[in-house]
Structure 1
Amino acid sequence: MIKSMTGYGKGEGASAELSVSVEIKSVNHRYCDITVKAPRSLMALENETKKRVGERLRRGKIDVFVNLEFTGLAAAKPVMNRPLVAAYVELFEEMRNSFPVDGGIPLSLLVQQRDVISLEEGALSESLLRQALEAAIGKAVDALEAMRVAEGSATCADIEERLRLIEEMLGKIEARAPRVAEEWRGKLSERLEKLGGDVAFDPQRVAQEVAIFADRCDISEEITRFKSHLEQFRGLLQAEEPVGRQMDFLTQEFNREVNTMGSKSNDSELTRTVVGIKAELEKIREQVQNIE
């Protein structure tokens, strides 16, 4: 099953104490590069989060965003910093006694001071946190995988159609190639006949030149290897495991063979067909860059 490397998924996991939401985004990348962005309270689970995601997503630039909310007893509570409040009261009293100012110390003045009131998280169950996180990751990856599979299916259909066109053009090359040497021999014979008796030539030497030309423009081996690559590529389209790198390698081999055909063809019709194959291969190469 061909999968794209581009996708997005979101999942949530919750318990009586907390709620965890996970968003995962992935784009093309040569390897598997996972980055986790999570609250400080989840830093201890960052490597575990990477491991869980990496078990399902084998390739791509993957960003994981984790958000944590507390509910019930685990919800954050405002807490007074008593020593700091006492220090402010003492300071304000000293200021009132030292300078000609009247009045007491209003509560509104105290609560405005930095760090007098802070939020403190309640008791948190690590096992419940881990369960909620794993559930959220699983749902997010499922959603992302569904998007990857859908895009991969469309990509596979497009590649299969281009392979069909390439195979059709390869058939034209295979049918045309054997006639190139024969046509060249005919043209050479015509030129020699036009020279008439003014120039003497050795028929054996002419036959030798024709044989050399035929060997030089023979592309039967390249056609055979190209067909083998086509068969391997179609096999990869049915594979269950990630095959993007293998497809990328085969695409390079396709280009190697077709370039050799173009350089050896010595025929304008073959050259045009080779250009057509290269155009389709370039489109396949672009598609392969996004396959896991």
Structure 2
Amino acid sequence: MGHDHHHNHSVKNIRAAFFLNFGFTIIEIIGGLLTNSMAILSDALHDLGDSLSLGISWYLQKKADKKGEDQTFSFGYKRFSLLGALINSIILIGGSLFILTQAVPRLLDPQPIEATGMLILAILGIAVNGMAVLRLQRGNSMNEKVVTWHLLEDVLGWVAVLIVSIVLLFKDLPILDPILSIMITFYVLFNVIKNLKKTLMIFLEAVPEGIDFNTVKNKISNLPGVISTHHTHLWSLDGEQNALSTHIIVKDSTTREEIVVLKGHIQEFVDELNLEHLTIQVDYQNEDCCMDKQMVHDPE
């Protein structure tokens, strides 16, 4: 019930962010045309890309929340959320590079800007995108985190526009606009690349962050009745819920009751490691392991 409640909030958060972003993009396009501001129209194009990626995230998060597994996806659909995070990261990197191609030339050739129109749209932009960021910050999924960076980029961008528009009301310094745009873009690129690395590590089934794999293996190996372990694997399904599988070797004389107790001790890892899936295979000391007949006595 806890996971279902959490994922339902993920879908609602991303859906709300999508409608806020898409609605404001339309307003931004109209405002850019009325103020004849290429900077705002360029940002509107970027926001349109954000709306597309938010729509993708919304769809994929709904897929990720599909209950249970099927004959195609035996682990269920949780990793669809990661796919959304990956696509959004790529779109955001592409959009940031596009902004740089537009901002860098303006360092050499600053363009005149309509300050009053920028000021009005900046206040509206901060309010709308800020609401979406606050909504998504309550979520924990990797998808929501990447989408949050989309919207945070917009908030920071509009803060820069607000500052520039206020300055331009009193002094003609249009070069401030590309300087702030470049600084914000590099800041966002740093964070989205960091999140992209985390997403790729999950896809590559790396040990989840914050967990010492050797400590987990040693805890299992040191349990009373366990001779050794092998084929121990720990990975994350979606950045939140983890999975653990292991083979344990016990003495040939170990009884069924002792094995039940032993499994109970390992079961305690479920809460400690936030496990969604736990698989334990018991191999007797003189039994050939079905996975690797050469690895009966693991030096671990």
Higher strand share: 1
TM-score, structure 1 normalization: 0.31
TM-score, structure 2 normalization: 0.30
Computing the radius of gyration from Cα coordinates, the structure with the larger value is 1
